Structure 1
Amino acid sequence: MLIDGETVPGVQIIVEANDFYRQRHAWVFEACVTLFTRNDPISQISVADELARHQRLEEVGGLPFLSHLIAVVPTSVYADNYARVVRRLSIHRQLIDAGGQIAGIGTRAEEDEEESLRKAEELLYRMRLGQNTRDLEALRDVLDRYVEDTEQLVGGRVGGVESGFVDLDRQLGGGFQPADLLILAARPGVGKSAFALNVAKSAAQTPKPDGRPRIVAFFSLEMASEQVIERLLAGESGINSTRIRGHVWTDYEEGAIMNAVGRLADLPLYIDDSVNLSVVALRSKARRLSLEEGLDLIVVDYMQLMSGTNTFGNRVQEISEISRSLKALARDLNVPVLALSQLSRAVENRPRHEPLLSDLRESGAIEQDADVVLFLYRPDMVFTGEEWERQHPDQDYPRGIADVIIAKHRNGPTGRMQVVFEEQTTTFRNAARAGGGTAGPDGYY
């Protein structure tokens, strides 16, 4: 940088002042950056003057030290490579420091083990956050990468993750897209957990076009893993979920359940039922699974039961942090993240109880961060048969019919479609027209 001030922009996006081991090197770096920011020429004399203005010139070793720095570097051509060496060594020092702090956490026996693990994971998580910066790219490079990805898509090698609901997948342009944060919201009891579990199972059952399995991670903060399994078995076997939960079944039903166990056993579906899961712990578990087995879809049930990395004392800020972290995770691992969310009671103050984006509970950041917002709406939970007939005399009562409303779609159209809720097995399935097929583009028949 002292030899060629034009190297400052490239170096500055790789390293920061605190990446230097010796303080005097950090001060020289800061002086060069300050001069570049002011559009002042960078030379041995101008840097010395900048250091002198802050009473640092003598501390760094004066002009002889600046001359020494210029003399020991043969050329400025490899400035970016030199910067990466500094950054790499800085990360190693941070790891050593984090290791010491983790050792300190481990020696404090009075702390709860879960809290100790959370603190240790947070140290490494914050280090990782510092490495997620990306440089500007030329449009040509971005286009080349896009064309390559498109060729893979056309060749049947990559693409979105199918939800199992054909109308929804079509409306989303081929399923849940990589790096997207999708929010599924509904009032309690409508069936958002059942819908999400349907999506997770369908994705795990559908291999990629190249034949490899799709790996799905299901983080269940609301239900224990046993309850998740019971729902999966009910949907796969067709046996009443209440009978499965109560372990009351006939010999025929037991055979159907055992067959369902056999079919589900090999699915690449991973379940975590940790209570009060933090964003740091979720990110750590998802990254580990991604490295060890691969990962194609993450489902979180549900956001409001998660905890942030800090205690803000403000739930809105905490949910905002969780929302941003889930979006960052989707981009970091390049997989779709389906996160369930509650709706506020404001939806109940409207005659039809149909949800709006403003009903997303506790934070407007959810709407901002999400690429897709889906609402699950069931008219039969709002209207009795008599009320429906009085208000819609020309329409049949929509018992078991649910509307999936795409209220936000960052990269495509919004809309709605219908699915059918099977109360006996607590599952959803595709709706079919009387004449066969599924819903049209508008979601209706």
Structure 2
Amino acid sequence: MDGNAPPQDGQETQNDPTMALPHSIEAEQALLGALLVNNEVYDRVASLVNEAHFFDPVHGRIFEVIARRIQKNALASPVTIKAFLEDDPGLAELGGPAYLVRLAGASMSVFAAKDYAQMIYDMAIRRDLIAIGEEITIKANAMDVDDEPKEQIVAAEQRLYALGEQGSVDSGFQSFLKAVTDAVNVANAAYQRDGDMAGISTGLRDMDSKLGGLHNSDLLILAGRPSMGKTSLATNIAYNIAKAYKKGVRPDGTEGAVEGGVVGFYSLEMSAEQLAARILSEAAEVESHRIRSGDMSEEEFRRFVEAAKSLENCPLFIDDTAALPISALAARARRLKRTHGLDVLIIDYLQLVRPASAKDSRVNEVSEITQGMKAIAKELDIPVIALSQLSRQVESRDDKRPQLSDLRESGSIEQDADCVMFVYRGEYYKEREKPAEHELEKMASWQAEMEELMGKAEVIIGKQRHGPIGSVDLAFEGRFTRFSDLAQPWQGGPRNEEF
């Protein structure tokens, strides 16, 4: 088929710098010939290549006409596509409609069409890589005040990751057999754990039994009013997962976390040092305000140092960069997964993440952010927990228990999330209803209610795509900002004395 190569592949353009780019004119001719001889080949190559992947633009235009004809259930042959390309100047240079006949006549094997398509695709990806590299070089050399190097790195990472994802040809329709096999593998993982759960354990047994653990590709929203303990609960979960981390060979043969996991924590509100102090307060059982002030006994300080040593190798990574755009957040998560692994991502909190570009309304901005978070969960195949603030309308109701309509910009958050949970502590509200000292009857009633609510919290599951809704009762120790399993009266003792 060398004789059929377009003239521009010959001696006339040997000095053209673009000729150094990876390409195979012969593979392009072979694929087009196979398509013109047998239109059924298109179904085997459509997921791999499109007109943009062809190095020769004339070949790209021929492929586009063939594809459109086949998509309309019409025959694509040298005769039928001739009318659509008669005025094409590029085709005229190659010999006009006779070139189409030569392509079909020189077709050697339709069975090798997918190999030709793969070769064309690979060459196109290589050209794209070269183009991205050149663009990075040009941008890095251009000293633009508004173009920060860090932003250039994020943009380059995004483009490279997007380029890498383009080759996922198996991401379209899959057979029911494959889907069933995946479902059986998930159920088997739960069965191997004695029916415990299929997902990653939060370290809180009652919550695990309701959620079935944290499942890959799920977006979980943890919402609540200020002072309810959202960050504390998220921190507890992060610490529990990282503390339980064990590496090994998974049932599918890959290497990774067999228990617990590597946790990424975006702390957009608190600094990394403040978050670490909270975790150490929980682990060492020393009140966080005493850690900050240094007001610790010798015994407490010893526990604090021992807890710090035991957590040195804990796979918990904290990023406290303020006002991160969702694109940068995704890029950093990809980088963490590539370098250290990543099994769970926690974002504190959703409303502090910036959209990639300014939108005409806050609702559209939040919609882009939640869609971006769901995309991260699916792309990296990990559970993503995003904390969210609630609107003030909760405070105006007699029953302060939150509900889905209380979510700020609730439409997109509620729609994109696989699970929505609310943290509620009745003790916080009841404490603010304390009657005057002289109202003895009211005071007695208030004290009885406070004793009932003291040290308890509720996690209300308002939406769960894969399971039941309801509430989970937890114990809350305000001194250490720690949530744990609540001992029920019929259990006869504490279930989770150790955190």
TM-score calculated relative to the size of structure 1: 0.89
Aligned residues: 439
- Residues 240, 87 of structure 1: CA spacing in aligned structure 2 closer, same or farther, 3 A cutoff? same
- Encode CA deviations 1:324-372: one digit per residue, 9 max, x unaligned: 1221221222211111111222323322222221222235222111111
Query: Structure 2 CA distance, aligned partners of 1:246 and 1:359?
Result: 37
The alpha-carbon deviation at position 400 of structure 1 amounts to 3.2
Aligned pairs for 1:384-399 within 5 A:
384=432, 386=434, 396-399=451-454
Partner of 1:164: 203
Q: Residue 192 of structure 1: which of 230, 242, 260 is its match?
A: 230
SS class of match (2:307): helix
SS class of match (1:188): coil
Partner of 2:218: 180
| Between 139-148 and 19-28, the greater mean CA deviation after superposition | 139-148
Query: Structure 2 CA distance, aligned partners of 1:394 and 1:303?
Result: 34
Is 2:152 the counterpart of 1:116? yes
| Between 219-228 and 206-215, the greater mean CA deviation after superposition | 206-215
Query: Structure 2 CA distance, aligned partners of 1:28 and 1:188?
Result: 61
TM-score calculated relative to the size of structure 2: 0.80
Tell me the amino acid that sits aligned with residue 183 of structure 1: I
The alpha-carbon deviation at position 392 of structure 1 amounts to 11
Contact 2:200 2:260 in 1 (8 A): no
SS class of match (1:349): coil
Contact 1:20 1:26 in 2 (8 A): yes
Provide structure 2 residue ranges, at least 5 long, that are not aligned to the other structure: 1-34, 249-257, 436-441, 495-499
- Residues 248, 395 of structure 1: CA spacing in aligned structure 2 closer, same or farther, 3 A cutoff? closer
Is 2:306 the counterpart of 1:259? yes
Query: Structure 2 CA distance, aligned partners of 1:285 and 1:345?
Result: 33
SS class of match (1:318): helix
Q: Residue 299 of structure 1: which of 346, 349, 359 is its match?
A: 346
Tell me the amino acid that sits aligned with residue 318 of structure 2: I
Root-mean-square deviation (CA), in Å? 2.9
- Residues 339, 64 of structure 1: CA spacing in aligned structure 2 closer, same or farther, 3 A cutoff? same
| Between 177-186 and 137-146, the greater mean CA deviation after superposition | 137-146
Tell me the amino acid that sits aligned with residue 423 of structure 1: G
Q: Residue 207 of structure 1: which of 237, 245, 255 is its match?
A: 245
Is 2:59 the counterpart of 1:28? no
The alpha-carbon deviation at position 168 of structure 1 amounts to 0.9
Partner of 2:18: none
Contact 1:125 1:280 in 2 (8 A): no
- Residues 356, 437 of structure 1: CA spacing in aligned structure 2 closer, same or farther, 3 A cutoff? farther
SS class of match (1:429): strand
Query: Structure 2 CA distance, aligned partners of 1:438 and 1:330?
Result: 38
- Residues 305, 132 of structure 1: CA spacing in aligned structure 2 closer, same or farther, 3 A cutoff? farther
Tell me the amino acid that sits aligned with residue 186 of structure 1: G
SS class of match (2:413): helix
Query: Structure 2 CA distance, aligned partners of 1:281 and 1:385?
Result: 44
Is 2:150 the counterpart of 1:95? no
The alpha-carbon deviation at position 395 of structure 1 amounts to 8.6
Where has structure 1 moved over 6 Å in runs of 4 or more? 53-56, 387-395
Query: Structure 1 CA distance, aligned partners of 2:112 and 2:406?
Result: 54
The alpha-carbon deviation at position 182 of structure 1 amounts to 0.8
The alpha-carbon deviation at position 83 of structure 1 amounts to 2.2
Partner of 1:420: 475
Query: Structure 1 CA distance, aligned partners of 2:165 and 2:446?
Result: 54
**Higher relative contact order, structure no. (Cα contacts within 8 Å, ≥ 6 residues apart):** 1
- Encode CA deviations 1:392-430: one digit per residue, 9 max, x unaligned: 988954133221011111011111011122111112121
Tell me the amino acid that sits aligned with residue 281 of structure 1: A
Tell me the amino acid that sits aligned with residue 221 of structure 1: L
Q: Residue 76 of structure 1: which of 73, 86, 110 is its match?
A: 110
Aligned pairs for 1:268-287 within 5 A:
268-287=315-334
- Encode CA deviations 1:3-51: one digit per residue, 9 max, x unaligned: 2111223322222222222211111111112111221112111122233
Is 2:389 the counterpart of 1:350? no
State which structure, 1 or 2, has the greater radius of gyration over its C-alpha atoms.
Answer: 2
SS class of match (2:459): strand
The alpha-carbon deviation at position 379 of structure 1 amounts to 1.6
Tell me the amino acid that sits aligned with residue 427 of structure 2: D
Partner of 2:72: 38
SS class of match (1:298): strand
Contact 1:105 1:120 in 2 (8 A): no
Query: Structure 2 CA distance, aligned partners of 1:423 and 1:329?
Result: 33
